Chains A and B, each alone.
Chain A
Amino acid sequence: MKVTILQFPGTNCEYDTQHAFEQLGATTEIVWHKSESIPSDTNLLVVAGGFSYGDYLRSGAIAKFSPVMKAVSAYAKEGGKVLGICNGFQVLTEAGLLPGALKRNDGLHFISKHHTLKVENSDNIFLEELNNGDIVNIPIAHHDGNYYIDNAGLADLKANNQILLTYSDVDGTTKNPNGSVDSIAGVCNKEKNVFGLMPHPERAMELILGSDDGKAMLQGFMKSC
């Protein structure tokens, strides 16, 4: 299993992501955004979190024009598996690989804390180790995590089981930290090979650091490749 992790100027979660996947037994490679191709043996491409290009203009808006993004689009269109975490999710929506957009949090504050999430749809390779209704405890750390999609888009997401995770309380009731439409924390594309979420599973790999629920999430990819 080979995981390729993208690095833009301002990315800051590439080494955590690398550590998390290596802990699960994957081989990894970090690829600088100037590269015009991605390694041919890539089984999973991760757009890691951080602040690509300082979030100037909009989060992810400038990163989408980096040389490597053409290769990312081509890889995704051929069915390659892509995961965007936090800023990576923002980059993938800006690039049009995932539906919707991420706005400034409703409370206008940067939120950094552990948050419980509810698994909405586990019939995909990302969450196949989990079951619908499962609650996981995963850190969030974002300023622009307020997911927006119009009503028609939301209906599509629901019809195709594209909503992966929602923010919830420990008992599964909705708890919305940032104003996201329907409390959405993560979605996938219609073809279910491109995934994006604001929470950071790669930061939930050790009980001593508060949670290891991220293991079950990332493990799904390990099994599928």
Chain B
Amino acid sequence: MTAIVNVSLKAGVLDSQGKAVHHALDSLHFSGVSDVRVGKQIVLKLNETDKEKAMVEVTKMCEEILANTVIEDYKIELI
């Protein structure tokens, strides 16, 4: 099974990289963008085959190391 973890700064925490990308898009005349958030994607190949157990395990990984929950949110997708 593969787990795709998306980590991004929480809503309300200023995302300077997102702001810079937004500014760049504006300069390129892509005017239809109202906000940009930049995050990171971590792809994990798991030995676990049970989805529920995998979710519990990956959530633990996110809480302990993959995300800093003081400033970041995470989303887990299992495929």
- Do A106 and B71 touch (CB < 8 A)? no
User: Given contacts A108-B20, A146-B16, is CB(A103)–CB(B71) below 8 Å?
Assistant: yes
Contacts of B9 in A (CB 8 A): 103
Question: In the complex, what's the smallest C-beta–C-beta distance from A215 to chain B, in angstroms?
Answer: 33
- Do A179 and B14 touch (CB < 8 A)? yes
User: Given contacts A57-B65, A61-B65, is CB(A100)–CB(B16) below 8 Å?
Assistant: no
A interface footprint on B37-49 (CB within 8 Å = 1, 0 otherwise): 0000000000000
- Do A179 and B68 touch (CB < 8 A)? no
Question: In the complex, what's the smallest C-beta–C-beta distance from A183 to chain B, in angstroms?
Answer: 14
Contacts of A149 in B (CB 8 A): 70
- A202 at the binding interface (Cβ < 8 Å): no
Interface centre among B9, B13, B20, B68 (most CB of A within 10 A): B68
Q: Which of A79-136 contact B (CB under 8 A)?
A: 93-94, 100-101, 103-108
Question: In the complex, what's the smallest C-beta–C-beta distance from A166 to chain B, in angstroms?
Answer: 18
Contacts of B16 in A (CB 8 A): 103-108, 146, 179
CA distance A187 to B9 in the complex (A): 22
CA distance A101 to B17 in the complex (A): 17
Q: Which of B1-23 contact A (CB under 8 A)?
A: 9, 13-14, 16-17, 20
- B76 at the binding interface (Cβ < 8 Å): no
Contacts of B14 in A (CB 8 A): 106, 179
- B36 at the binding interface (Cβ < 8 Å): no
- Do A101 and B70 touch (CB < 8 A)? yes
- Do B65 and A148 touch (CB < 8 A)? no
- B66 at the binding interface (Cβ < 8 Å): yes
- A15 at the binding interface (Cβ < 8 Å): no
- Do B68 and A108 touch (CB < 8 A)? no
> What is the chain A residue whose CB lies nearest that of B20?
A108
User: Given contacts A103-B9, A103-B13, A146-B16, is CB(A65)–CB(B65) below 8 Å?
Assistant: yes
> What is the chain B residue whose CB lies nearest that of A153?
B70
Contacts of B70 in A (CB 8 A): 93, 100-101, 148-149
- Do B20 and A148 touch (CB < 8 A)? no
CA distance A57 to B67 in the complex (A): 9
CA distance A159 to B11 in the complex (A): 26
- Do A148 and B71 touch (CB < 8 A)? yes
Question: In the complex, what's the smallest C-beta–C-beta distance from B36 to chain A, in angstroms?
Answer: 14
3 closest A-B pairs by beta carbon, nearest first, are: A101-B70, A101-B71, A106-B16
What are 11 residue pairs bridging A and B, where the CB atoms are less than 8 Å apart in the complex?
A: A93-B70, A94-B68, A100-B70, A103-B13, A104-B16, A104-B17, A105-B16, A107-B16, A146-B16, A148-B13, A148-B71
